[in-house]
Structure 1
Amino acid sequence: MSKEIIAKKAAIVDEVAEKLDSSVANVVVDYRGLTVEEVTDLRKQLREAGVEMRVIKNTYLKRAAAKAGIEGMDDVFVGPTAVAFSEEDVTAPARILVKFAEDHEALEVKGGMIEGKVASLDEINALSKLPDRDGLLSMLLSVLQAPVRNVAYAVKAVAESKEEDAE
């Protein structure tokens, strides 16, 4: 094998290792059996959520994982493999891919990583049930507003009762 080919392969491994390292969540899937239209639709959904999906050779993935210091993913990197990388939203790749797998039997979620730690299929499924970042923020906001709202209602009730007593 020529040095030029080896250098290209090493560059691919370096790029994938950097993606694995910089991503907050990665989900590995087997896409065998999906039609071109289905894969295009899936990529569109992922892209709209800020997630990149790439088909990568398993040997490159194994070397990139080793270079990034990730252990325990060798059994996931088997067969046709696509990886969804998310650098912003932890739940997005799991949410989109698990929902797509429910609708399309050909897509199989194999595993992944959450914030640098290897995640099992059960953990990926649990993560997919969480709302997105905006949903979580709105839930937090409503929880934070509840005490203030209750105090406002209490003050209003006291003011109304004093007005009634004054009359």
Structure 2
Amino acid sequence: MDRTQKEQLVAFLKEVFDDSGLVVVTQQSGLTVSEVSELRSDARGNGASYKVAKNRLAKIALDGTKFEALKPLFSGPTAVTTSVDPIAAAKVCVEFAKKNEKLTIVGGAMGDTILDADGVKALANLPSLDELRGKLVGLLQAPATKVAGVTQAPAGQLARVFGAYGSQGEAA
């Protein structure tokens, strides 16, 4: 890799770090090409990206970003998973690490908050942004449904009472 390619990679990584809401640093030793391809595919499918980068270049790209405190995590065979959604990258890494012990979560950062491996795992257990939106819509619709049911209930009860009186009058 010549100097211009390195500069382009650093610029690309810097842009990725600036646009990301979450960065997860992992170590992968012994992952096969097909396993890495599967991980990349899972990441893309969930709105995240997985990138293997040279530690020295990644540390240079971290300079001046909100994730600058992650520099000490870059040692050994590392890779970076990033996402705009603050949960997607964590979910992808944790799910893949459950299936494949060759991938180890080292840590991560969400904004200015540095996370250890347990913090990333805890973050992965939270519902995603889409799941939260669905729950919120359900909560907003529930009161309207209940109000409609309550307003219709008295009319239904009155109709039953009138019907009972009417049937008593016919029987007499």
TM-score by length of 2: 0.85
Residue 56 of structure 1 aligns to which amino acid in structure 2?
A
C-alpha RMSD of matched pairs (Å): 1.9
Contact 1:18 1:68 in 2 (8 A): no
Tell which structure's C-alpha radius of gyration is larger: 2
2:138 counterpart of 1:145: no
CA distance in 1, matches of 2:4, 2:35: 34
Question: Shift in Å at residue 70 of structure 1?
Answer: 3.2
Pair 1:70–1:90, CA change in 2 (3 A): closer
Structure 2: gaps (5+ residues):
164-172
Structure 1: gaps (5+ residues):
none
2:63 counterpart of 1:66: yes
2:131 counterpart of 1:135: yes
Question: Shift in Å at residue 10 of structure 1?
Answer: 3.0
Residue 67 of structure 1 aligns to which amino acid in structure 2?
G
Identity of aligned residues (%): 35
Pair 1:72–1:123, CA change in 2 (3 A): same
Find 1:25's aligned residue among 14, 22, 27. Answer: 22
Aligned positions, number: 163
2:156 counterpart of 1:157: no
TM-score by length of 1: 0.87
Find 2:104's aligned residue among 101, 108, 120. Answer: 108
Contact 1:101 1:108 in 2 (8 A): yes
Higher helix share: 2
Contact 2:51 2:80 in 1 (8 A): yes
